[in-house]
Amino acid sequence: MERFTRSQFPDTPFLFFTGKGGVGKTSVASSLSIAIAGEGKKVLLISTDPASNLQDIFGQTLSNTPTKIEGVDNLFALNLDPEQAAQHYKEQMVGPYREKLPEVVLQNMEEQLSGACTVEIAAFNEFAKLLTDRSVIENFDTIVFDTAPTGHTLRLLQLPSAWSTFLDDNTTGTSCLGPLKGLEPQREIYKEAVERLKSADQTALMLVTRPDVNPLKETARASNELFEIGIQNQILLVNGYMKDLNSNDEMEKAFIARQIKALELIPKELKQFEQYYLPFVPYSLSSMERMQAWMTDQDITHENEIEKGMTIPEVEEMIADYLERKPKIIFTMSKGGVGKTTVASYIALRLAEEGMHVHLTTTDPAAHLNWTFGDDKIKNVTVSRIDPKSEVANYEAEVLAKASETMNEEGLAFVQEDLASPCTEEIAVFRAFANVVENHKDEIIIIDTAPTGHTLLLLDATEAYHREISRSQGEIPLAVSNLLPRLRDANYTSVAIVTLPEATPVFEATRLQQDLQRAGLSVNWWVVNQTFSSIETTSPTLIQKQQAETKWFEEIKSFSNNQFVAIPWVKTPPVGTKGLHELKGEKNK
């Protein structure tokens, strides 16, 4: 695999970056933009991340119109807030019905329009305006988007226009109806924007990932979904690859060995694309100087960002709390790619070793429990897996059977596409999880995927809606009705948010916490996974990494109200009883 350098820069006028939170999309997009602008091309960098650190990187305030970046000729930046855009859409849709429809109906409509689906479509609406705005296109040589739409959003926006009649006349209660209906008048703009995305001469999709097994698998799934839509000009960028400099440090050697092993297992879907790497750097890419140095392999003076001597609590503190409080349900939650399945497995193992009976269940197809437990049989632990695909299929069959009683073929086709929504999958999985809870009443239940606040509020709103207005679709099963109030009982349910000691994962964890609090759930613990601060190393690079982490520990301490623990990075993947015990937090040598 070659180093990503200037000679590999795509020359298409539009560049989209995709990848899970924490892989470095914004850093790569910003560095690339600075480099292109440095060659005299006029560049517009567009961020749609609500927690974007573009303003910190460039040290100036940005807005939703292009702003000249001081100190870099030819570079402009623009910060879109998709959540603000989604809020605007929601009001556009709900506003005309205020004081005309019952409050419970308005509540249902508002929650339908509060999910990730709405935010994503609202963001694409902003993308589409820029992709088709002649004054923008003709004014810049290169336009860089630091995130890309998903395949689901693009499929929705390409629904046959004949279905617009259906959207006007029907209320299905499905998750993407509202946002799609609100965007209907701009169908021609989306058509042009999607065609531009599909054109290999116009657009390059940059798949940003890390040299680790699960991020590579997640990247392959996102790549495949967009490839099938027709966005096939893709380039793989492996960010954070550490070159072997023949160090004698055991931790550094182990770190490099894990990366090499992961890259040997790179999914076949990604092998067809050009592949490049960007080097691991121990410092935060939080300034133009650092990004320029990173892109050109220059050494920079790294100042100690932290005060030494910070005490980092070990994960066993959280286990002791669970043993004392004995919550009935424990969720481990994160945005993905930070190790929530491993953390859930560790909690299950330790509680079982202390004599408690535990049922561990997962929905994660990338890191299922057979992987974390290996061939070991753990006393007092039962495991199960909720298969999102089969649960969605069951849910889809149920909804379509009821919808077919009243809808024509056109309407049913729309409902079928809508059921592919991530929001719909979350509801289907939650229904399956409620059944697991009903069937394991005598055990502590640990699940590695928690519902979002949006899902809970949507179920709440739908339940209230159905209580007061009789409808024939989407009834709330008894198991779900029983579970909803228990999730808000802090004595019954405990939530642990899993994150990494890095900028984007911490910001995403903060948003997750806010989302859960909106739904009435309290977060009891934050778990900082894969920290280098708990290891002993002589590697200058890893020592700098330890120093850089402390800033994020301080942030986590504040966000979690000092309710956090940490798990160290370990030399080998934590598989089986022995591997999981390595996470205990004893000084890792």
Residue 243 CA, chain-centre distance (Å), reads 28
The most confident of 115-119, 132-136, 399-403, by mean pLDDT: 132-136
Look at 111 and 523; give whichever has higher pLDDT. Answer: 523
Look at 120 and 131; give whichever has higher pLDDT. Answer: 131
- Asked if residue 375 has pLDDT above 80, the reply is no
Residues 61-74: tens digit of each pLDDT: 888 889 999 988 99
Q: Name the token pair of 502.
A: 């890095």
Under DSSP, the state recorded for 144 is: E
Q: What is the pLDDT of residue 122?
A: 75
What percentage of the chain's residues is helix, strand, coil (to nearest 5)? Answer: 50, 15, 35
Q: What is the 3-state secondary structure (H, E, C) of 264-307?
A: HCCCHHHCCCEEEEEECCCCCCCCHHHHHHHHHCCCCCCCCCCC
Residues 430-439: tens digit of each pLDDT: 788 888 888 8
Residues 463-502: tens digit of each pLDDT: 554 444 443 345 567 777 777 778 888 889 899 999 999 8
Q: What is the pLDDT of residue 497?
A: 93
Under DSSP, the state recorded for 544 is: H
Query: 445: which strand partners?
Result: 329, 359
Helices (H), 21-60: 25-37, 54-58
Least confident of 207-211, 316-320, 410-414: 410-414
Where in the sequence numbering do the catalytic residues fall?
22, 24-27, 49, 504
Under DSSP, the state recorded for 8 is: G
Look at 272 and 169; give whichever has higher pLDDT. Answer: 272
Write down the mean pLDDT value for the chain: 80
Confidence band for 577, pLDDT divided at 50, 70 and 90 = confident
Confidence band for 93, pLDDT divided at 50, 70 and 90 = confident
Mean pLDDT, residues 329-340: 82
Q: What is the pLDDT of residue 175?
A: 47
- The amino acid present at 192, given as its one-letter code, is E
- Asked if residue 421 has pLDDT above 70, the reply is no
Beta strands in 218-263 (DSSP E): 234-241
Q: What is the pLDDT of residue 261?
A: 92
Query: 383: which strand partners?
Result: 360
| Secondary structure class of 498 (helix, strand, coil) | strand
Return d(Cα 151, Cα 297) in angstroms, integer.
35
- Asked if residue 167 has pLDDT above 70, the reply is no
Helices (H), 368-452: 369-373, 388-403, 409-418, 422-439
For 86-137, give the DSSP string: HHHHHHHHHGGGTTTS-HHHHHHHHHHTSSHHHHHHHHHHHHHHHHH-HHHH
Neighbours of 340 (CB within 10 A): 27
Cβ-contact 346, 315 below 8 angstroms: yes
- Asked if residue 585 has pLDDT above 70, the reply is no
- Asked if residue 230 has pLDDT above 80, the reply is yes
Q: What is the pLDDT of residue 445?
A: 93
Cβ-contact 531, 312 below 8 angstroms: yes
Return d(Cα 32, Cα 338) in angstroms, integer.
26
Look at 47 and 235; give whichever has higher pLDDT. Answer: 235
| Secondary structure class of 582 (helix, strand, coil) | helix
Mean pLDDT, residues 300-309: 54
Percentage with pLDDT > 90 across the chain: 27
Least confident of 76-90, 381-395, 567-581: 76-90
Return d(Cα 75, Cα 464) in angstroms, integer.
51
Mean pLDDT, residues 102-122: 69
Q: How many residues does the chain have?
A: 589
Q: What is the pLDDT of residue 473?
A: 45
| Secondary structure class of 314 (helix, strand, coil) | strand
- Asked if residue 104 has pLDDT above 70, the reply is no
Least confident of 11-25, 101-115, 176-190, 285-299: 176-190
Confidence band for 27, pLDDT divided at 50, 70 and 90 = confident
Helices (H), 404-539: 409-418, 422-439, 453-468, 478-487, 503-518
- Asked if residue 210 has pLDDT above 50, the reply is yes
Cβ-contact 363, 450 below 8 angstroms: no
Mean pLDDT, residues 240-245: 85
- Asked if residue 308 has pLDDT above 80, the reply is no
Q: Name the token pair of 290.
A: 């650092």
- The amino acid present at 533, given as its one-letter code, is S
Q: Radius of gyration of the chain from Cα atoms?
A: 24
Confidence band for 85, pLDDT divided at 50, 70 and 90 = confident
Confidence band for 173, pLDDT divided at 50, 70 and 90 = very low
Q: What is the pLDDT of residue 434?
A: 84
Cβ-contact 282, 545 below 8 angstroms: yes
- Asked if residue 387 has pLDDT above 80, the reply is yes
Q: Name the token pair of 8.
A: 């590999």
Cβ-contact 78, 45 below 8 angstroms: yes
Q: What is the pLDDT of residue 126?
A: 78
Cα torsion angle, 202, 9, 76, 123, sign: positive
- Asked if residue 211 has pLDDT above 50, the reply is yes
Look at 154 and 341; give whichever has higher pLDDT. Answer: 341
Confidence band for 37, pLDDT divided at 50, 70 and 90 = very high
Sheet containing 564-568, strands listed edge to edge, beginning at the edge strand earlier in sequence: 381-385, 358-362, 444-447, 329-333, 493-499, 525-531, 564-568
Under DSSP, the state recorded for 548 is: H
H or E stretch covering 319? helix 316-325
Q: What is the pLDDT of residue 166?
A: 46
Residue 21 CA, chain-centre distance (Å), reads 5
Confidence band for 554, pLDDT divided at 50, 70 and 90 = very high
- The amino acid present at 563, given as its one-letter code, is Q
Percentage with pLDDT > 70 across the chain: 79
CA max distance for the chain = 73
Q: Are strands 75-79 and 234-241 parallel, antiparallel or unpaired?
A: unpaired
- Close Cβ partners of 567 (under 8 Å, ≥ 6 residues apart): 315, 339, 343, 346, 527, 528, 529, 530, 531, 534, 583, 585
Least confident of 82-86, 358-362, 433-437, 546-550: 82-86
CA angle 360, 366, 371 (to 5 degrees): 55
